[in-house]
Amino acid sequence: MKPGAGRGLVEINVEECKGCGLCTDACIPKVLRLSASLNRYGYHPVEYEGRGCSGCGLCFVVCPEPGALRVLKLAA
Ligand code: SF4
Ligand code: SF4
């Protein structure tokens, strides 16, 4: 498997993320984490490890912030 390859890809808009951690808790393969850095509003935004996303969409479902993240399902 190529680096970054998987069945899904999560894209994060760090300025829309409030760092609540709901997505990191929901992610079964645990490929999301809160960044050590701050966004412009003073929150620690979520970041994707870059591989291992299954494309399940749970992070998108639980996120209360419209536009903070989106999930792309990758073709096999
Ligand atoms: S789509 Fe699923 S596996 Fe991928 S980051 Fe979101 S919760 Fe985790
Ligand atoms: S992406 Fe959404 S659910 Fe995840 S930490 Fe940011 S605001 Fe919370």
What are the residue ranges spanned by the domains of the chain? 1-57
Judge if pTM exceeds 0.75.
Answer: yes
> Ligand 1 within 6 A of 68 CB?
no
CA distance 75 to 40: 34
The reported pLDDT for the residue numbered 2 is: 52
Q: How do residues 18-59 score in pLDDT, each as one tens digit?
A: 999 999 999 999 999 999 999 999 999 999 999 999 999 999
In this prediction, residues 68-74 reach a mean pLDDT of: 94
- Binding-site residues, ligand 2, Cβ < 6 A: 17-23, 46, 62-63, 65, 68-69
